[in-house]
Structure 1
Amino acid sequence: MKGPQLIRKLSCFSGSITKPHRLTYTRTYPTLLVNPDGSTFTIRYPEPRQIIKLPLNIWTLSEAERKQKLELRKPKQKMVIQEDIEDSFDSSRYLNYLKKK
């Protein structure tokens, strides 16, 4: 007689205990792909994403367009507006409207 043997009983419930061990999943999701020129088309992507925007290569642009795109990337400076409010409110004019108890 041989030593103890490992007997594994598989059933329909054993599949729900663990995840499927795959490197690539067969399910793909419809995803909108946006090119740098603004054109779009739908692709099948293995991860659930709604939209993918491809980056713009600024080195393929002309010098003027490159400067314009780099200026748009810089942070905007916030404009501070200070208002001078003229306050001519006199509370003593409204004392007659207060009711004394």
Structure 2
Amino acid sequence: MIPRVQTLLRITETAPFLERKFNCWSAAITKKHRATYLRTYPVSLVFANGSTINIQYHEPRRIIKLPVDLSLLTDAERKAKIESRKQKTKIKIQEEIEDDFDEDKYIKLSNR
């Protein structure tokens, strides 16, 4: 029984391992899966008051906008900011068409 176990071990040890072949086509299908980039990229950082600075960021982005702190705004500014975030609903105005059609004029034509 021992020789049989050894032959099974040899077969599994020499079995070819499946490998994934990377080429140009696999790169076109998927994205780069990396947590951090190896270099930094120039990015514009926009503060809540509208001023901007140029920084080096670890991801390639064009612009980063910091959110506005609502607790620092006055009540009127806070209400205006919240109203601007709400979705605008469009009101459709339908004009009423005045119908002055008189059926009695055409009764004669329908009795033929």
Q: Same fold (TM over 0.5)?
A: yes
- TM-score, normalising length: structure 2: 0.51
Question: Structure 2: where are the runs of 5+ without partners?
Answer: 1-21, 23-33, 99-112
Residue 39 of structure 2 aligns to a residue in which SS? coil
- TM-score, normalising length: structure 1: 0.56
Question: Structure 1: where are the runs of 5+ without partners?
Answer: 1-16, 87-101
Instruction: Give the Cα separation in 2 of the matches to 1:80 and 1:25.
Output: 50
* From 41, 54, 59, the counterpart of 1:47: 59
1 or 2, which has the higher helix percentage?
A: 2
Q: How many Å apart are 1:56 and its aligned residue?
A: 0.3
Aligned partner letter, 1:48: P
Larger Rg: 2
Show the counterpart of 1:65.
77
Any runs of at least 4 consecutive aligned residues in structure 1 with deviations exceeding 6 A, and if so which? none
Instruction: Give the Cα separation in 2 of the matches to 1:84 and 1:77.
Output: 22
Show the counterpart of 2:91.
79
Residue 77 of structure 1 aligns to a residue in which SS? coil
Show the counterpart of 1:29.
41
State, as a whole percentage, how many aligned pairs show the same letter: 58
Instruction: Give the Cα separation in 1 of the matches to 2:52 and 2:91.
Output: 37
For this pair of structures, how many residues does the alignment match?
68
